[in-house]
Amino acid sequence: MIILSIDTATDGVSVAIAEGTRVLASSEMRSEKQHAEVLTPMIDFVRKQAGVSFGDVGAVAVDIGPGLFTGMRVGIASAKAIAQVLDVPIIGVTSLDILATAVGVTGDVIASVIDARRGEVYWSLYRHIDGKLRQVTNPQATAVEECALQVIDRGQSTLFVGNGALRYRNEIELVVAGVLPSFAFADDMAASPSAVVLAQIAHERALRQEWQEADSLVPEYLRLPDAEINWATRSAS
Amino acid sequence: MSANTLFNDSTVVLGIETSCDETAAAVVMGGNDVLSSVVATQIDLHARYGGVVPEIASRAHVEAMNVVIRQAISQSGVPIERIDAVAATVGPGLIGALLVGVAAAKSVALVLDKPFVGVNHLEAHLYAALLDDPYVEFPMLVVLVSGGNTLYVEMRGHGDFSVIGQTIDDAAGEAFDKVARFLDLGHPGGPAIDRIALTGNAEAIDFPRAMLHEGLDVSFSGLKTSVINYVRKNPTVSTADVAASFQYAVVDVLAAKARKAAKQIGAKSVALGGGVAANSLLRSTMTTVCAESGWRLVLPSMAMCTDNAAMIASAGWYRLVADGPSSLDMGAMPNLRLT
Ligand SMILES: [Zn+2]
């Protein structure tokens, strides 16, 4: 099956078209701005490079976040519209899953950590169990120290990945150094989710028909709008 | 207007609007034949905050967009692959909200291999009046009054217009909202004041009419302040009388400036647009003003006064005919103006 994969959840735009496990074409741009300007022409370009027509696309995959609200909605709104017009299913994958998949098979705990601004990170922990990547904590938005403390609780060697891990590298090291058997940081290349990795996950999910209708796909924000947080605080006091 | 023969009376445009708190899609043929118009309003989501919250609006747009497009397509009876072009509001509006509609519209256009056209929301409001009455004569004065704008626009022909007057501070709809909030009448304020004013005496309080005699610009900030001061000094005053007197003052100013503007441009017709165009006193006053002066008044239906996507598809059709499609690398322009 040919799958169109779209990622605009963090600091960039990336698009891939793959058939099975083979990527036919892909493109990537790294900037926090102009997701909407870049995405549509990029899809057009990648489709042409892949040598397929939209009618050949059997499913659309998209990074549903967490990430930058405005940027991620550009990809999600686009993917949902494309899936609707093509009348094909949509596969929503979290940015944290994509990052954890990108580092490949390892015996370490994988900590996917995305910069959430305002001193917080979106994060989740993963492990490879029987050769399969498993999410072992619920995704959360917390201060980076909370993430590091929960990593310590597990006491296992850990690989940190994502732009949040790199931004708060010092803070994480302060907590985990000397406590964990070992730890490492995935490099810059793996810091942001990529549509090429998303395509890989989407292929596996498509084989199991783990997909949904475009109408029902919702983003994974992990954080309420400020107005709702303030409202709840005011109502509580 | 150039004769862009690619686009004609049988051209079917899908319009998408997400600039504020309505998620809307519509299918319009030939610029003014509305085949469907679907609006999903978010008023309830924002009510408790006393105004539109941008992040809440953007989230709601993502959730509603597909369903709204699906309904607009199915109600139009035109299969989606028979759509000839896709239009979307690119500004002005809330950036995050606009981007949802722009991204969806460009994607639909790309996949269908049909042209995309970005539309100025304010220009679309000018066309909203024409959707109900397309054979109007130019020059036309359009009085565009909403929560975000109060504009007097001279329209010499399709796509040929200029702003000849505007508010120097609050928009008329903004004044309605602020006064309604102060009087505890709820949000949105326009309909609330309109309703309670029916039971009040509009001449009970003589609120000031700002700048009635200078140019075509208007101001509502001072009026809002004097309403607040009056109620603080007279706490037992009837809310209905305050609402009626306030509304009378706003409409008095809007209508006086409209009369002056229409005379100045030698108007053959006058049209109202924007949410405040739904105000009953403004509609009846403008009906009298235009009847006295022999101008044909174009009063849009209530559905065309407020934000909708039929006006976006219509304005998009006129843009396509005049200038052709927009590029797919177009983004949102939150501060776009009417020029
Ligand atoms: Zn509007």
Is 50 exceeded by the pLDDT of residue B1? no
Contact by Cβ (8 Å): A75, A13: yes
CB contact under 8 A, B62 and A218: yes
Distance B146 CA to ligand 1 centre (A): 7
For B5-35, how does the pLDDT look when each residue is reduced to its tens digit (9 = 90+)? 688 999 999 999 999 999 999 999 999 999 9
The predicted structure's pLDDT at residue A165: 97
User: Best interface-test mutation with A: which of B326, B329, B330, B333 has the largest number of A CBs within 10 A?
Assistant: B329
Is 60 exceeded by the pLDDT of residue B2? no
Give the whole-angstrom CA distance, residue A202 versus residue A194. 12
- Contacts of residue B185, Cβ cutoff 8 Å, sequence gap at least 6: B192, B193, B196, B239, B243
Q: In the structure, what pLDDT confidence band is assigned to residue B133 with cuts at 50, 70 and 90?
A: confident
CB contact under 8 A, A85 and B111: yes
The predicted structure's pLDDT at residue B134: 80
The widest CA-to-CA distance across chain A, in whole angstroms, is: 60
Give the whole-angstrom CA distance, residue B268 versus residue B294. 8
* B140 beta partners: B155, B269
Give the whole-angstrom CA distance, residue A70 versus residue B199. 45
Three state DSSP letters for B286-316: HHHHHHHHCCEEECCCHHHHCCCCHHHHHHH
CB contact under 8 A, B99 and A228: no
Contact by Cβ (8 Å): A95, A221: no
**Residues B150-175: what's their mean pLDDT?**
93
For B266-302, how does the pLDDT look when each residue is reduced to its tens digit (9 = 90+)? 999 999 999 999 999 999 999 999 999 999 999 988 8
Which positions in chain A touch B328 (Cβ < 8 Å)? Answer: 40-41, 44
Q: What ipTM does this complex have?
A: 0.96
Comparing CB atoms, the residue among B65, B100, B328 nearest residue A44 is B328
Sign of CA dihedral B21, B22, B23, B24: negative
Amino acid at B81: E
The predicted structure's pLDDT at residue A108: 96
Give the whole-angstrom CA distance, residue B149 versus residue B20. 13
- Contacts of residue B211, Cβ cutoff 8 Å, sequence gap at least 6: B168, B217, B218, B219, B253
- State the DSSP code for A103: T
Q: In the structure, what pLDDT confidence band is assigned to residue B3 with cuts at 50, 70 and 90?
A: very low
Q: In the structure, what pLDDT confidence band is assigned to residue B225 with cuts at 50, 70 and 90?
A: very high
Does A221 lie at the interface with B, CB-CB under 8 angstroms?
A: yes
Distance A140 CA to ligand 1 centre (A): 38
The predicted structure's pLDDT at residue B96: 97
Structure tokens at B236: 């037992």
Out of A7-11, B202-206, B213-217, B251-255, pick the least confident.
Answer: B213-217
Does A69 lie at the interface with B, CB-CB under 8 angstroms?
A: yes
**Residues B178-189: what's their mean pLDDT?**
90
The predicted structure's pLDDT at residue B5: 66
Which positions in chain A touch B99 (Cβ < 8 Å)? Answer: 35-36, 70, 73-74, 77
Residue with tokens 């924002």: B46
Give the whole-angstrom CA distance, residue B176 versus residue B184. 12
CB contact under 8 A, B107 and A219: no
User: How many contiguous H segments (helices) and E segments (strands) does chain B have?
Assistant: 11, 10
**Whose CA is closest to B243, among B292, B175, B179?**
B179
Residue B201 burial (CB count, 10 A): 14
CB contact under 8 A, A85 and B112: yes
**Residues B221-228: what's their mean pLDDT?**
95
Residue A26 burial (CB count, 10 A): 19
Comparing CB atoms, the residue among A80, A86, A228 nearest residue B65 is A80
Give the whole-angstrom CA distance, residue A92 versus residue A66. 12
User: Best interface-test mutation with A: which of B66, B78, B80, B327 has the largest number of A CBs within 10 A?
Assistant: B66
Residue pairs spanning A and B at CB distance below 8 A = 106
- Contacts of residue B155, Cβ cutoff 8 Å, sequence gap at least 6: B126, B138, B139, B140, B141, B142, B161
Contact by Cβ (8 Å): B119, B330: no
For B103-130, how does the pLDDT look when each residue is reduced to its tens digit (9 = 90+)? 999 999 999 999 999 999 999 999 998 8
Amino acid at B121: H
| 3-state secondary structure (DSSP) of residue A55 | helix
CB contact under 8 A, B108 and A215: no
Distance A112 CA to ligand 1 centre (A): 42
User: Which residues of chain A, if any, have pLDDT below 50?
Assistant: none
Q: In the structure, what pLDDT confidence band is assigned to residue B4 with cuts at 50, 70 and 90?
A: low
Give the whole-angstrom CA distance, residue B40 versus residue B97. 14
The predicted structure's pLDDT at residue B214: 79
Does B47 lie at the interface with A, CB-CB under 8 angstroms?
A: no
- State the DSSP code for B276: G
